């Protein structure tokens, strides 16, 4: 089985060890000599009938006629090209391309980048439909408003949870058959101008949790379809929302009475157990509370027809959470004829779909004694103290893609994508305790305070980070002048790739026909 061993023929990564040999690899199908230009080598490798693609079984050949060629395929003129192939393949291609551009002297050639595998979004959608078929997902746009993700989910028939005018506009402008009734304006405390504009755009369904919101709606959107958001237990979630939103049950009868007095239409109940819920049992109590509010609605003269169970769904606990939800629904809503049930998942759809590649741009390491090498120095420091013996600096940080560390309470774990230009990291590599930092001059820009990585890593090597699709690129800034990392898109490999591409192609065609 062949593997790509070396990325470049020249100076990148920065050499701190003169024993390293910057040779170009040979593979089963391609041999590059010292006189072969790096560009020619890369192009030959990527266009070879047997160029390598990572699959569940390992590396296998991929046809050069497929859309995984160097340029990809543009289904949407305004969006980047769409490729085939496993995300690992495109992480490697991206690194090889960066090395080539760096060898030609391009500024910021080694910048960090995402790879998004849309087949993973599709797989999560199918998983949702299988486990919670009665609940239509309304994707939480704030989690990741990626244009390809929005188009794929729109083509699959989901609704959208929007929290601002810009999110509403973004959804309505993606084309296809997105009508305003597929949107819930799920922000209980909105600016008056936002409510007025949602009326103009035809978005009627919106949440509220206080009396002032009712007066604003009455003033500028009297025909709105209101959903009362109630307070539930969110103490079992990474991001608790109850401090900011949700009406306590004791206040709901008064709110419903005021809505009736203002002749406003309240159609149902919503709640949110918090983002990143790690104890799905809380859905049982939340649905019990929603049932009591349905009864309060009857007492106020309303007949609710909508139940919105919000978000909080974690990938690893999804089946467990779905079982709790179904049990609670059967218990508290045994007769649910005439009731629409929706949810607002966000991270569940996109977290696993995005990976990030970041380049090591600097390093602070112990200066070895002349009689020992760096590996020996690092091991000595590791033995003396449980503190990082080396600090690595990468070209993305907490002001960029890793804002999820500060804002979403996430912990990231780096792994090696390339070492000394090689994609192969021997299992015999000595590991050392280290820390990973972002590129800005702010001391809070720490990506990983302590982790184990090979002690032989150098400037120019690459680190990878998985599960980077939720609350990452959407909140990235350009603090200190660093650009937001760009995204390479793929539909993965196998049958799912063809399905996803066909779904997107049909959506693109419908969008063109609608003008």
Q: Which domain holds residue 63?
A: 38-117+351-490
Within its chain, how far is the Cα of 89 from the centroid? Answer: 19
Residue 201 belongs to some domain of the structure: yes
- The tokens describing 189, both together, are 């405390």
Burial annotation 401-420 (CB, 10 A radius, 16+ → b, else e):
bbbbbeebebebebebbbbb
Which regions of 111-232 does DSSP assign to beta strands (E)? 113-117, 135-140, 159-162, 183-185, 205-208, 225-229
Within its chain, how far is the Cα of 19 from the centroid? Answer: 40
pLDDT, position 65:
42
Q: Looking at the structure, tell me whether residues 406 and 296 fall in a common domain.
A: no
Q: Looking at the structure, tell me whether residues 138 and 236 fall in a common domain.
A: yes
User: How many alpha carbons lie under 13 Å from residue 35 in its C-beta half-sphere?
Assistant: 0
Q: Average pLDDT by consecutive 10-residue portion of the chain (515 residues)?
A: 42 38 34 37 38 32 40 88 94 93 87 95 97 97 95 96 95 86 96 97 97 98 97 64 76 97 98 72 91 97 97 89 96 95 95 95 77 55 65 90 78 93 87 91 90 92 94 66 80 92 92 76
Distances (CA, A) of 315 to 120, 411, 506: 12, 15, 28
Q: Looking at the structure, tell me whether residues 60 and 126 fall in a common domain.
A: no
Q: Looking at the structure, tell me whether residues 401 and 420 fall in a common domain.
A: yes
Number of domains in the chain: 2
Catalytic residues: 441
Domain endpoint, select from 313, 328, 350: 350
pLDDT, position 247:
92
Question: Domain of 403: which CATH number?
Answer: 2.40.37.10
Question: Domain of 170: which CATH number?
Answer: 3.20.20.10
Q: Looking at the structure, tell me whether residues 439 and 388 fall in a common domain.
A: yes
């Amino acid at each position: 089985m062949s593997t790509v061993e070396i990325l470049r023929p020249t100076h990148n990564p920065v050499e701190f060890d003169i024993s390293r040999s910057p040779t170009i690899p040979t593979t089963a199908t391609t041999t590059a000599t010292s006189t072969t230009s790096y560009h020619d080598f890369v192009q030959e490798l990527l266009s070879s009938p047997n160029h390598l693609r990572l699959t569940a079984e390992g590396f296998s050949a991929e046809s050069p006629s497929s859309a995984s060629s160097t340029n990809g395929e543009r289904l949407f003129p305004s969006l980047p090209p769409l490729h085939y192939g496993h995300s690992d393949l495109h992480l490697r291609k991206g690194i090889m391309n960066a090395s080539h551009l760096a060898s030609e002297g391009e500024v910021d050639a080694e910048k960090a980048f995402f790879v998004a595998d849309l087949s993973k979004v599709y797989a999560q959608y199918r998983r949702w439909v299988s486990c919670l078929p009665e609940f239509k997902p309304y994707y939480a746009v704030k989690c990741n408003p990626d244009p390809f993700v929005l188009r794929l989910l729109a083509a699959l028939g989901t609704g959208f949870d929007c929290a601002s005018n810009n999110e509403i506009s973004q959804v309505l402008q993606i084309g296809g058959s997105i009508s305003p009734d597929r949107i819930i304006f799920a922000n209980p405390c909105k600016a008056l101008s936002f409510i007025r504009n949602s009326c103009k755009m035809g978005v009627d369904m919106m949440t509220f949790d206080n009396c002032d919101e009712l007066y604003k709606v009455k003033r500028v959107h009297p025909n709105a379809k209101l959903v009362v958001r109630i307070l539930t237990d969110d103490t079992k979630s990474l991001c608790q929302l109850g401090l900011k939103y949700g009406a306590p049950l004791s206040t709901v009868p008064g709110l419903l009475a005021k809505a009736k007095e203002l002749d406003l239409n309240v159609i149902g109940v919503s709640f949110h157990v918090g983002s990143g819920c790690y104890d799905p049992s809380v859905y049982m109590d939340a649905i019990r509370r929603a049932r009591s509010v349905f009864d309060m609605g009857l007492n106020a003269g309303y007949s609710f027809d909508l139940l919105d169970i919000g978000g909080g769904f974690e990938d690893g606990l999804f089946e467990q959470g779905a079982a709790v939800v179904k049990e609670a629904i059967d218990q508290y809503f045994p007769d649910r004829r005439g009731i629409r049930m929706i949810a607002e998942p966000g991270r569940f759809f996109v977290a696993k779909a995005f990976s990030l590649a970041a380049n090591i741009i600097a390093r602070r390491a112990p200066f070895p004694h002349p009689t020992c090498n760096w590996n020996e120095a690092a091991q000595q420091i590791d033995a003396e103290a449980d503190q990082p013996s080396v600090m690595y600096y990468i070209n993305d940080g907490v002001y960029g893609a890793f804002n999820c560390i500060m804002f979403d309470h996430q912990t990231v774990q780096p792994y090696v994508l390339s070492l000394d230009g090689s994609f192969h990291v021997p299992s015999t590599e000595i590991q050392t305790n280290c820390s990973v930092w972002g590129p800005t001059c702010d001391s809070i820009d720490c990506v990983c305070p302590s982790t184990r990585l090979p002690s032989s890593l150098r400037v120019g090597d690459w680190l990878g980070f998985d599960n980077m699709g939720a609350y990452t690129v959407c909140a990235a800034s350009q603090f200190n002048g660093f650009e937001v990392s760009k995204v390479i898109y793929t539909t993965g490999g196998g049958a799912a790739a063809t399905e996803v591409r066909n779904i997107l192609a049909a959506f693109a065609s419908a969008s063109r026909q609608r003008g």
